[in-house]
Amino acid sequence: MASLPVRDFLAAVRARLCYHAPHSMSTVPTRALVLAAGLGTRMRPLSLDLPKPLMPFWGAPPLGRTLRMLRAWGVTEAVVNVHAGAGEMLRWILANPVDGLRVDLSFEPDALGTGGALVRARWFVGDRPFWIVNADIACALDPAPLRAALAARSTVAAVWVDPARGPRTVETARGRVRCFRSATPGAPGTATFCGVHLVRPELLRFLPLREAFGTIVAAYEAAMNAGRRIAAVAIPGAFWADLGTPRQMVEAHRAAFDSQQPIANSQYRTSNIEHRTSNIEQPTANSQQPTTNIQHPTSNIEHRTSNIEHRTSNIEQPTSSSRQPTADSQRGKGRARPGGRPDAGCPPVDVGRWMVDVGCCSSRRPASLVRPPFAVRGFASIAPDAVLGRGAVIEDSIVWPGARVEPGARLCGAIVGRGAVARGVVRGPLVRADLVLAPAERAAVGRRLGGDVSAEAFEPRGSDRTFLRLRGSRRGAMLIRHGRERPENDRYAGHARFLAALGVRVPALLADRPAARFVLMEDLGDRTLADVIAGAPEPRVAAAYVRVVLAMAPWHVAGLAAARRSGLGLEEPFGPALYEREHRLFLDQYLAGRLPAPAALVAAAARDLGRVSSWLADAPPVLLHRDLQSSNVLWTRGRPAFIDFQGMRSGPAMYDLASLLFDPYVRVPAAVRTRALDAYVAEVGTRRARPDVFLPAAVQRLTQALGAYARLGAIRGAERFLRHIPPALGLLEEALRGCPAGLPALEAIARSRS
């Protein structure tokens, strides 16, 4: 066994001795460990462009904000652990020193986790309390409560928690942590660990001597088992936001914007963009910039606002006859913050021939502004060198340095990476395609999309597939990658060819590369059936659903026989085994797992579901889509097109109809269901349709969906699926009212609405 390095051995001995003579918290901690060595997996594809700690948060990287915050707390020495993007992090730290703060890097060739990072940095710890701060959060807080909490007897660490926001997986009581891994997250008495802790060196006693992957939570649990106390400190008035995923990054921007929260000891500015077409006020060189000092409850942060300075170069001056703002532009009145350094004045945003300062306004009266050729709705964080085209709409979105937004593009909750070009509607993270495409994918794309290709990543949909929308100067395409977890994904391309030959509208297949496990498909846009019916009057909703069910009719009528003739590979048909698996998903994931329900109720529900599947067993089989919900029906050129059909199999036609008309993602009026069902039955005939099993099929489908929502919602980053549970329960109750009597357990579960 190799010997432990001398400095690590001495640090370990010092850590073991320090508990017997703990330092008073009357002195301010002067050292800090900043955790910045994450892989950035949840932030992809943006983390392929920039390491997460360097991604702009209102124009300044979280790492820089954290270092300045620590310096304001009295810290003079910091160690930043790095792994992915270490070179770029080093260059940024060298280029952005913080006065009075020495920063060392702790490079990890292999990621060591939060516990392993502390073991590797034990040489730095010394014998006094020190801070540990995550670099992928945005925060503003008073450190005094944490210092006070650490002074309590037997307390080895004080951790900042938030009892109101986040996943709330930490159980607390009387100011101390009871459990870091709650079995009932979100329940009363739980809180979220916010990633800021004040730690005594004694904690090293509960970590291994040698470097290995580990978590600091494991060390805390070992310390608690040894009788040590971990203080849980909630700080009123503090600001915290997780920056772990693209969605969280957007939500954090919005939260800081809505709360007018000064973040991490930096100045920031807001602006009310007022569209005027005449009487432009041109401030002179002697114009005074009004300044207001606002004391934040937890730190001294100056919130500065100033009048907009209109640059005269490359600005079209509107005349008195200029067209008045439209209703859309009036709705677009918003506040935008420049993405430049918070203390660097108001940098202009390059909008082609327009150079408009969108940074500042008077705190008492908005200054007039040349009407910009783009609209801001909600918030917009725009880098100073970003290029925005005429007619673009920026809504709750972030535009990084060097990005370009094409004329007429619309950003909705988007993040546009460096050098990326936004076209059409963008709703997620967008990066240059060369950052994300493998060589085989680049070869398949070739020149067919034109130049300046960018890739928009879609949120995971609960499978091992990932989706990229590629857009170039000529056209767009959808790249669908799939792993080996579900063999049905290998059949997507073949199913697309088959359905197109059957006359069903599906995206055209542009490239199929089974060995590289991807397909390239025609991009039919992102307008779904749910978008078509949103806010529409009932007759129009009914007409849309009738069009969909009639488009499905050839699929159901001719599909199964054609599939058998062609030897098309299908998934396991609906029968006793598949029905039972869907039942187990509901019973195990939702009833026993999510609620959890008593064993007697679970058993009773299983008996009810057995009756449901027996009613469906006699229906003649057709070729099913299997997942026919509104999000899988695109609307293009006034007619429906179908996607996500890789799970095709034989089964009762009413399973597809129930999936479509009892859809938790949208609200379908009962009269619309009746009209669509009648139109379908008239088209395919009663014998094939078997409308008498429509409601039992809805019960089967909805219980399967509830199980899937519970399973997916338990995955970190996929909690959004949980919001579909209440509407699914409401629809289940509605379907049960029309079913034959004898399903009391399911009726009781549906009425619970939990």
| Average pLDDT over the chain, rounded to an integer | 82
Distance from C-alpha of 401 to C-alpha of 398, rounded to nearest angstrom: 10
Could you please report the per-residue DSSP string of 48-68? GTS-GGGS-BTTB-HHHHHHH
Model pLDDT, residue 654: 97
Q: Is the pLDDT at 209 greater than 90, yes or no?
A: no
Mean pLDDT across 231-243: 93
Burial group, residue 92, by CB count within 10 angstroms (0-12, 13-18, 19+)? middle
Residue 351, phi then psi, degrees to nearest 5: -120, 55
Are 354 and 318 in contact by the 8 Å Cβ rule? The answer is: no
Tokens of 409: 């593009």
HEC assignment per residue over 629-641: CHHHEEEECCEEE
Q: Where are the beta strands (DSSP E) in 359-485?
A: 369-370, 375-382, 387-388, 393-399, 404-405, 410-412, 415-416, 421-422, 425-426, 429-432, 454-457, 465-471, 476-482
Distance from C-alpha of 676 to C-alpha of 679, rounded to nearest angstrom: 5
Name which of 93-102, 502-511, 708-717 the model is least confident about.
708-717
Write out pLDDT tens, residues 107-164. Answer: 888 888 888 888 888 888 888 999 999 999 999 999 999 999 999 888 999 999 999 9
Distance from C-alpha of 309 to C-alpha of 276, rounded to nearest angstrom: 15
Name which of 178-187, 412-421, 558-567, 580-589 the model is least confident about.
178-187
Q: Is the pLDDT at 273 greater than 60, yes or no?
A: no
Q: Is the pLDDT at 212 greater than 60, yes or no?
A: yes
Residues 6+ apart with CB under 8 A from 27: 128
Write out pLDDT tens, residues 494-511. Answer: 999 999 999 999 999 999
Give the C-alpha distances (Å, rounded to integers) separating 90 from 49, 95, 264, 398, 696: 16, 9, 21, 25, 61
Model pLDDT, residue 26: 58
Q: Is the pLDDT at 526 greater than 60, yes or no?
A: yes
Model pLDDT, residue 272: 29
Model pLDDT, residue 565: 95
Residue 635, phi then psi, degrees to nearest 5: -120, 115
The whole model's pTM is what?
Answer: 0.78
More confident residue, 563 or 166: 563
Rounded to 10°, the helix 599-616/744-752 angle is 110
Cα-based angle 257, 258, 261 (whole degrees, multiple of 5) = 60
